[in-house]
Structure 1
């Protein structure tokens, strides 16, 4: 999947045009300057080619500035396309890019990989009771605590609304369960101060591990089934859907 904007595709043609212009101007200028040197009397021709050379330098400077502007704009577009504006975590599109690479690496090695799907319990009730601003602050605080509970190598994103997803690299089911419980207990004990109010929240978690034949869809489908079981059996718990794994 590519996140490149149409502007990105213009950068190589822009550089090609700049290179051709530069080469053409340089050749003409050098030939003209050489020709002018053979006849000192032709001062006008000499000045003409000197002006062409100056024009070349100005053109290259303008193209360089334009290239930097396009690159900066492209970086902003990429960030907006792959990051959640509220939590600053990767969004669903950003997760897809990271997850495909993580699955490929884990299956190629092979290495264990655990997936967690987390959902804040009764979030809609909290939202209707305390308002959207408090809910946004709660989500931001939860995202921060979730990230702090993980390693830098792990992948975490805001999947949608109050749902988050985590890929734990080089982690089997047993260790994944320990991490999930550590997160769940931390959130249960945490206090969030949102819009002058102290809010408490719990989280339900679904867990599974990567299998050799898995696609991203099948992996996430199992985490979703595990999460639904956690919600149906009372919330604030971790449920596991763990097929046979060679890593355990």
Structure 2
């Protein structure tokens, strides 16, 4: 059974599906960030509604939400937006530590947008700010507040990098598979062409070549008997003519079989 063909349409559909998955993940991260941002802002308003920091917290929250909602652009533009979001988030965390957990979507965004080393550096800074913010919110020192954020960040980063490498390896394997299928398809076409040539060669040998050989022998016999036995010579000629007619019909059949299917009705 021949392997399935890797068609350009299938590759385009795969690229489209990958793009759709990327858009869904981006939308999910955006919604998660906005939900955490809204929850932190609501908490701050309810608990510190009379604080002089409230206008700054609200303004920074609006900037964060607006920047996060901007989509598209080049890789440099996405990195620039991430930088704006990270700086605004750091400032608002210093003003209101309850915004610390908005860093969770930022960690994933950094891993997707930045090079690995830059992403790791950014995640380290984000995690440190989360630890500081949580310690400021706590009544006293809690070792869990120091240990849990780095562990969670390390776990999320490790899982993301592992999945990214697995995805890259799968991409390489898929490319190899597509290339192999194309090579197999080309080999099958070459083998099919050779098989067809061999079939035609056999048919030509079995029909046309043998017919021509028979005609030659009959005409030679007719030439030898023409003066001595004209009737026998004419019989040989008639037989040769019949063989020639059969050979002509066979030649036309071969040409018809080799022609395009769409021309079959017009020949």
Common fold: TM-score over 0.5:
no
TM-score normalized by the length of structure 1: 0.30
* Higher RCO (CA-CA < 8 Å; seq separation 6+): 1
Normalised by the length of structure 2, the TM-score is 0.28
Q: Which has the higher strand share?
A: 1
